[in-house]
Structure 1
Amino acid sequence: MGWLWAIIVGFVLGLIAKAVIPGKQHSPLWLTTIFGIIGAAVGNAVARAAGVAETRGIDWSRHVFQIVAAVIIVALGDMAYMALWGNKKRQRERA
């Protein structure tokens, strides 16, 4: 059940990150979900290091760390995706 929640949270965080980042992101949805999962894990690690991983009630600070990490990772991941695959797609479209 843990993997299912990781995928759901990663999907939601990835979509939120794509909505926050200005401009169009070209990475596919499955890759955005993976970036969101990584963002959630990094956000949890940062929250744990900051000492706010476990609080009473809803862990708002942990969620903020997760969203910020997901935005950064989705932005960097999309740039890497376009650097690796973007030119190849453009060349195929022109041919």
Structure 2
Amino acid sequence: MDIGHRAWEAVDPSTLDGVERQNIVRHIVVELQEICDRDAASNGSDRYPALNRLLQTIRASTLSIARADDDCFQRIVDELLQLRATMIDRRADEARSTYN
């Protein structure tokens, strides 16, 4: 499941059931955790302790997030996707500066 910005913009949260909403949030959290884990592996340390704690909190709140009203759910997912995009962009910037 690729839930990029363009794919998400085409989704109406009111058409999703609770399980689908939970799966969307879980998928994004897994992607964020993978970014954190790759960075930790390449750097040998936990570069994002606050983010790791945030991801734990989001995992524990997945059901509550899925039950949020449509607008709130959409805003949460949009923010998580923005965080993912920012982290990916930052990693790309770091990679470019390493090779220059």
Specify if TM > 0.5.
Answer: no
State the TM-score, normalizing by the size of structure 2.
0.33
